[in-house]
Homo-oligomer: A and B are copies of this chain.
Amino acid sequence: MTLKAFRSAILDFVDDPFYRSELESVRYIPDGLLVLEQGKVKDLGSYQQLAAKYAGVATKSYPNHLLLPGFIDLHLHFPQTEIIAAYGEQLLEWLEKYVFPTERKFADKAYCEQVAPIFIDELLRNGTTTAVVLAAVFPESVEALFTECQRRNLRMIAGKVMMDRNAPDFLSDTAESSYRDSKALIQKWHHQDRLLYAVTPRFAPTSTPAQLAIAQQLLKEFPDTYLHTHLSENMKEVAWVQELFPDSQGYLDVYDQYGLVGERSIFAHCVQLTESEFSRLAEAQSAIAFCPTSNTFLGSGLFNLERATAPQSPIKLGLATDVGGGTSFSMLQTASEAYKVTQLRHQNLSPFQALFLATLGGARALQLDDKIGNFDLGKEADFVLLDPRSTPIMALRNQQALPDDLEALSDPLFSLMMMGDDRAVRATYIMGELAYDREAGLGI
């Protein structure tokens, strides 16, 4: 069997640095060798330790780079790619003014096929190898996206948005059509190669009770799909949900009433959660997608990271760009914004914690940590090479070679997270194959 190897400083996580010390949770190999067989991790260790054993193996070296697991973006919108950074509104007005008119374009299959490769290119350029994606209400948008992901051999999760009220007619489905379309997509795409499906009611205000019941039915019929939706982003939204569902005990309870709060549920935002809602998410082992650039851009508020990671009732958590409410495809820039959100709350976020959320944390949130998220043996080898000197100011900041010890690594790692952008991504590999190279460009 043909092997291949990569030599670099290697960083991944073996446990959760919110609950364990860095020594227990971070695996850092200053001069490491990652050995792959058929796209999966065959061996991992120091170069010195493994070099002789794999002496004949073709080895690609990235000196002064940091090799990490590919980033996992826990929540973003395929049809909002082109309206990233639209001006001047908060959530509900922004949906009306920018999002809905743009999503309409995705009724056109040819348009979907035109945008899909651009969207995927942008993910790979930013080192994101897995994402949980809302497509549009139109099945064509899922088709185009999955087709492109399959072509690139990506482990990707997506779903058709379900939306049967409080949306323009041209964007609305019905409970019945959303069932039929979602089911057909699941049957065609779920577990095709590396693809997985998420049942995706947009958010409680745009689904009738009948449609939420349909979502529940889909999850029952296909219990290993995901539930992916929005939760408690903005105060006006929360109040609106209470009006629409007057019998509910709050926003999360609406989803709970329809059996949508489970261990394969991903809730984006969660900025306005009550303590009892946090507890319920912990109990249900649901996951939160923390979307800091979106939460600041739309003025939604500052996510309570400290509560989400409270030792007595921890919640599965990952980072997400939420493009186009978020302002960047970069998970580094997203981590930077996450840090600022915690600072504004006088909380803490170490660079190790942030990068955990962007890798193994996301994988755990998706129950995919047996397949991706770190370099344990047998895992699928999606990874990214980060360059700590990718801009002149970063080159000045990080003049010294990457250090040998973990403690000293936190400084260059933090600067990568605070100042790094797409340029910091030197290369992105999918199952051990080069998928993006900063110098050579995309479409490799």
Contact = CB atoms under 8 A, between A and B. Distances in A.
B414 A85 contact: yes
A22 interface: no
A296 B121 CA distance: 31
B87 A125 contact: no
A76 to B, nearest CB: 12
B415 A85 contact: yes
A392 B121 contact: yes
Interface residues of A, number: 46
B418 A421 contact: no
A95 interface: no
Interface in A63-98: 81-88, 90
A89 B329 CA distance: 27
A397 B82 contact: yes
A410 B397 CA distance: 35
Interface stretch (A36-44, A140-148, A344-352): A344-352
A8 interface: no
B90 A392 contact: no
Interface in A306-363: 327-329, 336, 339-340, 342-346, 348, 350-351
Interface stretch (A239-247, A297-305, A369-377): A297-305
Interface of A: 81-88, 90, 118, 121-122, 125, 296-299, 301-302, 327-329, 336, 339-340, 342-346, 348, 350-351, 391-393, 396-397, 410-411, 414-415, 418-419, 421-422
5 contacts: A90-B343, A122-B392, A296-B343, A297-B418, A327-B418
Given A81-B393, A299-B344, A421-B421, 17 more contacts: A82-B397, A83-B397, A85-B414, A85-B418, A85-B419, A87-B411, A87-B414, A90-B346, A122-B393, A125-B392, A296-B340, A297-B339, A297-B340, A299-B343, A302-B344, A327-B418, A328-B419
